[in-house]
Chain A
Amino acid sequence: MASEYRSEYRAESEYPAESEYRAAGAGVAVPDVSGADASGAERRARERRSRRYRLDMRWSPYAFVAPFFLFFAAFGLFPLLYTGWASLHRVELTAPGDMEWVGLRNFSRLLDDDFFWNALSNTVTIGLLSTVPQLLMALGIAHLLNYRLRGSMFFRVAALTPYATSVAAATLVFVLLFGRDYGMINWALGLAGFGHIDWQNGSFASQLAVSTIVIWRWTGYNALIYLAAMQSVPADLYESAALDGASRWQQFVHVTLPSLRPTILFTCVVSTIGAMQLFGEPLLFNGSAGASGGSDHQFQTLGLYLYEQGWVNLHLGRASAIAWTMFLILLLIGAVNWLVSRRLLKNEGAAS
Chain B
Amino acid sequence: MSVTKSGTQVGRSAPVRVPWGRRGLGAGRHLHGGRWTYAVLIAFTALSLFPLLWTAVAASRTNTRLAQTPPPFWFGGNLLKNLEIAWTDANMGTALLNTTVVAGSVALGTVLFSTLAGFAFAKLRFRFKNLLLLLVIGTMMVPPQLSVVPLYMLVAELRWTDQLQAVILPGLVCAFGVFFMRQYLIQALPGELVEAARMDGAGSLRVIWHIVFPAARPAMAVLGMLTFVQSWNDFFWPIIALTQNGSPTVQVALTGLGRGYIPDQSVIMAGALLGTLPLLAAFVLFGKQIVGGIMQGAVKG
Chain A: residues with CB nearer than 8 A to chain B? 1-2, 5-6, 8-10, 12, 15-17, 33-34, 49-50, 52-53, 56-57, 60-65, 67-69, 71-72, 74-80, 82-83, 86, 91, 96, 140-141, 143-150, 153-177, 181-184, 187, 216, 220-221, 224-225, 227-233, 235, 238-239, 242-243, 247-249, 251-252, 255-256, 263, 266, 273, 276-277, 279-280, 283-284, 287-288, 290, 303, 306-307, 310-311, 316, 319-320, 322-324, 326-327, 330, 334
Contacts and interface: CB of A to CB of B under 8 A. Distances in A.
A283 B240 CA distance: 13
B294 A224 contact: yes
Contacts, number: 395
B22 to A, nearest CB: 6
Contacts of B206: 9, 12, 15
Interface string B267-288: 0110111011001101100011
B236 A280 contact: yes
Interface in B221-269: 229, 232-233, 235-236, 240, 250-251, 254-255, 257-260, 265, 268-269
A117 to B, nearest CB: 18
Secondary structure call for the B interface: helix
B69 A187 contact: yes
Contact of A5 (B121, B132, B196): B196
A186 B102 CA distance: 39
Interface string B110-133: 001110110111001110010010
A277 B295 contact: no
A75 B143 contact: no
Given A6-B196, A164-B283, 12 more contacts: A2-B197, A64-B116, A65-B117, A79-B147, A148-B33, A158-B49, A162-B51, A171-B258, A173-B52, A235-B26, A283-B255, A330-B143
B178 interface: yes
B159 to A, nearest CB: 13
A147 B37 contact: yes
A256 to B, nearest CB: 7
B217 interface: no
Contacts of A156: 287, 291
Interface string B157-181: 1000000000001101101001000
B58 A67 contact: no
Contacts of A12: 206
Contact of A33 (B26, B150, B201, B251): B201
A76 B31 contact: no
Contacts of B11: 148-150
